[in-house]
Chains A and B, each alone.
Chain A
Amino acid sequence: MSAHHGPSKGFMRWVLTTNHKDIGTMYLWFSFAMFILGGAFAMIIRAELFQPGLQIVEPDFFNQMTTMHGLVMVFGAIMPSFVGLANWMIPMMIGAPDMALPRMNNLSFWLLPPTFALLASTLFMDGGAPNFGWTFYAPLSTTYAPDTVTYFIFGVHLLGLSSIMGSINIIATVVNLRAPGMTYMKMPMFVWTWLITAFLLIAVMPVLAGAVTMMLMDIHFGTSFFSAAGGGDPVLFQHVFWFFGHPEVYIIILPAFGVVSQIIPTFARKPLFGYDSMVYATASIAFLSFIVWAHHMYTVGMPITGELFFMYATMLIAVPTGVKVFNWITTMWKGSMTFETPMLFCIGFVFLFTIGGFTGVMLSLAPVDFQYHDSYFVVAHFHYVMVAGAVFSMSAAVYYWLPKWTGKMYSENMGKAHFWISFFGFNLTFFPQHFLGLAGMPRRIPDYALQFTDFNTMSSIGAFIYGASQILFLFNVVKTVVSGEPTSEEKTWDGAEGLEWTLPTPAPYHTFSTPPDVK
């Protein structure tokens, strides 16, 4: 084995790297940039919705903003951020030297920046960017789409490829490269949740690819998958899309669950309660996620048997999710807790994600969903689970592992400020949206009737506050990397357990070249 001279210098280091830490870092920075971009689109949306009337943008551009906000956040920010975390942490957590397929790992990342550059550039093309919602229902996204829909389809294919390759890599790594003694039931929860998530990704990203391929064929090759004129059916699109779409939201949240399962035990100084149960609950959620998709389609005119089936299955998925919440709280119970920033974000997660879970149970009831569907009640629900869920979890993860990655300690005061401002801003933005939905305000509209003004204004103010706090976060991270307080404690947090905390701080470029012995 040849001696390593450390990472090469300059830009080419990053282009050619096959090192999981480098690739993890690139994913994390890329996803943060996308978070800012998606956030900018959200700021435009909320600025327009600050008052009734059209002040800032035209309705068609507003539709482009809501579409791009969703696409960028889901595919550019949230998913790549957790992939980055997986890259950094999985090899270290299982005692492996790197991912199973380091070169494919590099390709998985480098597909993303050009794809998002392409997608973002559609904003400047003739006809404008995709404007049919991130859920792109046909025929709005086929017969009635702007020309840029073809770039959108191409982009989705590339993103899917990146995700599929990444997932294959993760499974191959976890299955084959665990250190001797690390049985499956000794793996950290973060590894478990990512293992299960990777299977979900491999199962459903190709289905998304199928959906956009059918769109491509309808648009350019004269087929009629989604067009009634040729014997097709727009509702077929919805079934195919949501068959992907529902597992997708679990793909987003399961790694977030894994992070919380790592962090709460650390700061409670107590082992995770019910580890086995947590594994089974995660697997149950994954299985159930395949049979609930049509709860996104309750108003489409499904026969009642179908409607009832999906309602019951969806209600059922609350059970394993609840089990996980109870297990986290029981982990806290009778622990010896301190509340550093990562713990604050995790407690915030448990509190706010559970609220999102409650509105999820309400939404699962088909007859009531006839009032909730396509209203701001749904918007509130999914932002609670995705922002207060996934994004809070990612923030927690960054604060938690940043010292291990960089050998520098972040500013705890700034971290706490980030948490509290985010918590306040987030709730001010999204809690009133429940009321708006219940009062009858539909989603995806650039202007609204006067009685919806007050909560919209509130929501917009909250959004600006939440957005500003992310700049604080960026500042804290950059300042830490550049000039943070150095730390060389292997165990940054005294309650931390896991192989990554046996490594030097900062973690060397290559770790576990020889696998450790796991007892």
Chain B
Amino acid sequence: MANTTTERSITYTVTKLAVVAVAMFAFVFVVMVPLYNVLCDVLGINGKTSGERYQVVESSVDIGREIRVQFVTTNNEGMPWVFHPTESVLKVNPGAVNSTVFYAKNPLAKAMVAQAIPSVAPIRAADYFHKTECFCFNQQPLAAGAETDMPLQFIVDQDLPADIKTITLSYTLFDVTAMAASQGAVATR
């Protein structure tokens, strides 16, 4: 039978290791998930543009440079809405405020709520694509059979890396009717 010093030592080892195990579990939720989101937000590295309204800072327009901005829309599975940009491609100057509109229609006989999720390519451009107004900031409810024009207002930052000439902004439209019902209509992150 082990003597008491060894027993105490064993208890000490076990406690330390158990704490490490619990800490690693907590690490996933408290560090990994937020860190991933922060890194994606700050570095724009998964192509997600910020979910927040961009605060406009007065700046000049770089008329010497032209950027092609393409809009692509996709409906996620089971999302029956009609959803497309009214303009497929815009040629913009960095620093200028640009506006466009996306058309959406709910063809079903019941009210629905949609969420548009943006994604930017190339990934590096996400940090330089500022939305001052976007229908993706909020869930979009539409009554049965209703249609709407959803605005997008954006500025391409002058500091966009010189080698980027085309930015593609894609919106995937998801049916969040069930989610909205359980949460109440809340703006997403």
Binding site for B on A (CB under 8 A): 1, 100-101, 164, 167-168, 171-172, 175-177, 202-207, 209-211, 213-214, 222, 224-225, 228-231, 233, 235-236, 239-240, 243, 301-303, 306
- Other than the given A168-B21, A172-B17, A211-B28, 9 more pairs (CB < 8 A) read A100-B13, A177-B2, A177-B10, A206-B28, A207-B27, A210-B27, A222-B183, A229-B179, A240-B32
Q: Assess A231 versus B51: contact at CB under 8 Å? Given A101-B14, A176-B13, A206-B22.
A: yes
The CA of A210 and the CA of B188, in the complex, are separated in Å by: 24
State the Cβ distance, A137 to closest chain B Cβ, in Å: 16
State the Cβ distance, B114 to closest chain A Cβ, in Å: 9
Q: Scoring B residues 143 to 170 as 1 if CB is less than 8 Å from chain A, else 0, what string do you get?
A: 0000000000000000000000000000
Q: Scoring B residues 167 to 179 as 1 if CB is less than 8 Å from chain A, else 0, what string do you get?
A: 0000010111001
If over half of B's interface residues share one DSSP class (helix, strand or loop), that class is named, otherwise mixed; here it is helix
The CA of A202 and the CA of B15, in the complex, are separated in Å by: 12
Q: Does B103 belong to the interface (CB within 8 Å)?
A: no
B138 proximity list for chain A (CB < 8 A): none
> Are the CB atoms of B13 and A172 closer together than 8 Å?
yes
The CA of A145 and the CA of B59, in the complex, are separated in Å by: 50
> Are the CB atoms of B46 and A210 closer together than 8 Å?
no
State the Cβ distance, B169 to closest chain A Cβ, in Å: 15
The CA of A240 and the CA of B32, in the complex, are separated in Å by: 8
> Are the CB atoms of B28 and A210 closer together than 8 Å?
yes
The CA of A64 and the CA of B49, in the complex, are separated in Å by: 37
A225 proximity list for chain B (CB < 8 A): 33
B117 proximity list for chain A (CB < 8 A): 228-229, 231
Nearest residue (CB) in B for A100 is: B10
The range of chain B's interface size is 35 or more
> Are the CB atoms of A240 and B28 closer together than 8 Å?
yes
Nearest residue (CB) in B for A236 is: B36
A229 in complex: contacting residue of B29, B43, B115, CB < 8 Å: B115
> Are the CB atoms of A206 and B24 closer together than 8 Å?
yes
State the Cβ distance, A299 to closest chain B Cβ, in Å: 14
A175 proximity list for chain B (CB < 8 A): 9, 13
Binding site for A on B (CB under 8 A): 1-2, 6, 9-10, 13-14, 17-18, 20-25, 27-29, 32-33, 36, 40, 43, 45-48, 51, 76, 115, 117, 123-124, 172, 174-176, 179, 182-183, 188-189
The CA of A231 and the CA of B138, in the complex, are separated in Å by: 11
State the Cβ distance, A211 to closest chain B Cβ, in Å: 7
The CA of A317 and the CA of B45, in the complex, are separated in Å by: 26
A214 proximity list for chain B (CB < 8 A): 28-29, 33
B124 proximity list for chain A (CB < 8 A): 303
Nearest residue (CB) in B for A210 is: B28
> Are the CB atoms of B17 and A235 closer together than 8 Å?
no
> Are the CB atoms of B174 and A228 closer together than 8 Å?
yes
The CA of A204 and the CA of B32, in the complex, are separated in Å by: 13
> Are the CB atoms of B10 and A176 closer together than 8 Å?
yes
Mind listing 23 A-B residue pairs with CB under 8 Å? A164-B21, A167-B17, A168-B13, A172-B13, A175-B13, A176-B9, A176-B10, A206-B23, A207-B28, A210-B29, A210-B32, A214-B33, A225-B33, A229-B115, A230-B115, A231-B189, A233-B46, A233-B48, A240-B28, A240-B32, A240-B33, A303-B43, A303-B123
> Are the CB atoms of A231 and B188 closer together than 8 Å?
yes
B33 proximity list for chain A (CB < 8 A): 214, 225, 236, 240
A206 proximity list for chain B (CB < 8 A): 21-25, 27-28
> Are the CB atoms of B45 and A306 closer together than 8 Å?
yes
> Are the CB atoms of B25 and A172 closer together than 8 Å?
no
